[in-house]
Protein backbone atom coordinates (compact mmCIF):
# COMPACT_ATOMS: atom_id res chain seq x y z
CA UNK A 1 0.00 0.00 0.00
CA UNK A 2 2.88 2.37 0.78
CA UNK A 3 4.32 1.78 -2.69
CA UNK A 4 0.98 2.69 -4.24
CA UNK A 5 0.73 5.91 -2.22
CA UNK A 6 4.32 6.94 -2.95
CA UNK A 7 3.87 6.17 -6.67
CA UNK A 8 7.54 5.76 -7.37
CA UNK A 9 8.50 9.04 -5.70
CA UNK A 10 5.81 11.08 -7.44
CA UNK A 11 3.13 10.57 -4.80
CA UNK A 12 3.28 14.10 -3.42
CA UNK A 13 2.74 15.58 -6.88
CA UNK A 14 0.00 13.11 -7.83
CA UNK A 15 -1.99 13.39 -4.60
CA UNK A 16 -1.70 17.16 -4.38
CA UNK A 17 -2.87 17.42 -8.00
CA UNK A 18 -5.77 15.12 -7.20
CA UNK A 19 -6.70 17.23 -4.16
CA UNK A 20 -6.59 20.47 -6.18
CA UNK A 21 -8.74 18.86 -8.89
CA UNK A 22 -11.30 17.72 -6.28
CA UNK A 23 -11.45 21.20 -4.74
CA UNK A 24 -11.90 22.90 -8.11
CA UNK A 25 -14.56 20.39 -9.16
CA UNK A 26 -16.46 20.98 -5.92
CA UNK A 27 -16.29 24.75 -6.33
CA UNK A 28 -17.42 24.41 -9.93
CA UNK A 29 -20.48 22.49 -8.76
CA UNK A 30 -21.32 24.81 -5.86
CA UNK A 31 -20.82 28.19 -7.60
CA UNK A 32 -24.01 28.03 -9.74
CA UNK A 33 -26.07 27.10 -6.68
CA UNK A 34 -24.77 30.10 -4.76
CA UNK A 35 -25.36 32.40 -7.74
CA UNK A 36 -28.91 31.09 -8.14
CA UNK A 37 -29.59 31.82 -4.50
CA UNK A 38 -28.28 35.38 -4.86
CA UNK A 39 -30.28 36.02 -8.03
CA UNK A 40 -33.50 34.73 -6.47
CA UNK A 41 -32.97 36.93 -3.40
CA UNK A 42 -32.43 39.95 -5.65
CA UNK A 43 -35.55 39.19 -7.70
CA UNK A 44 -37.67 38.81 -4.56
CA UNK A 45 -36.49 42.24 -3.44
CA UNK A 46 -37.37 43.77 -6.79
CA UNK A 47 -40.85 42.22 -6.69
CA UNK A 48 -41.43 43.54 -3.15
CA UNK A 49 -40.33 47.03 -4.15
CA UNK A 50 -42.58 46.95 -7.22
CA UNK A 51 -45.53 45.82 -5.11
CA UNK A 52 -44.93 48.61 -2.59
CA UNK A 53 -44.80 51.17 -5.40
CA UNK A 54 -48.06 49.90 -6.90
CA UNK A 55 -49.76 49.98 -3.46
CA UNK A 56 -48.59 53.56 -2.87
CA UNK A 57 -49.99 54.74 -6.20
CA UNK A 58 -53.29 52.91 -5.78
Per-residue pLDDT tens listing for the chain (58 residues): 889 889 989 999 999 999 999 999 999 999 999 999 999 999 999 999 999 999 988 6
Residue 34 lies in a domain: yes
Tell if the pTM clears 0.75, that is, is over it: no
Cα(31)–Cα(17) distance, rounded to whole angstroms?
Answer: 21
* Alpha-helical runs (H) found in the chain: 2-6, 11-57
11 C-beta neighbours (distance < 10 Å), count: 14
Residue 26 lies in a domain: yes
Instruction: Count structural domains, the chain.
Output: 1
Residue 9 lies in a domain: no
Amino acid sequence: MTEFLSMGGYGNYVWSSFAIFAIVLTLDAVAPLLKRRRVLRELRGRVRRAQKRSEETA
